[in-house]
Amino acid sequence: MTLGELRPGERARVLSIGTQGAMRQRILDMGITSKVEIQLIKVAPLGDPLDLSLRGYNLSLRRHDAALIEVEKL
């Protein structure tokens, strides 16, 4: 499954990142690397973007970017 398919409150471990180019580097820099644990905290009121918790902080990511990140649910 992908990060975009998580429901609020669910946690997952990152398997692979399908994003390319500058955005890929940015995602890595922000700490979304393989095997990291991520929790989906909530979704913005209009349905997008997502509020994620990882490495002790909160990160906001758009759905179409989250859909490129393969995860396994914990």
CB of 68 to another protein, least distance (A): 12
Beta carbon of residue 1, minimum distance to another protein (angstroms, whole number): 20
| Least distance CB 42 / another protein (angstroms) | 7
* Whole-angstrom distance, CA of residue 21 vs CA of residue 66: 15
Residues that bind another protein (CB under 8 A): 11, 17, 21-31, 33-34, 36-37, 39, 42-49, 51, 55-62, 65
Q: Residue 46 — left, alpha, or beta (φ > 0 → left; ψ -120 to 50 → alpha)?
A: alpha
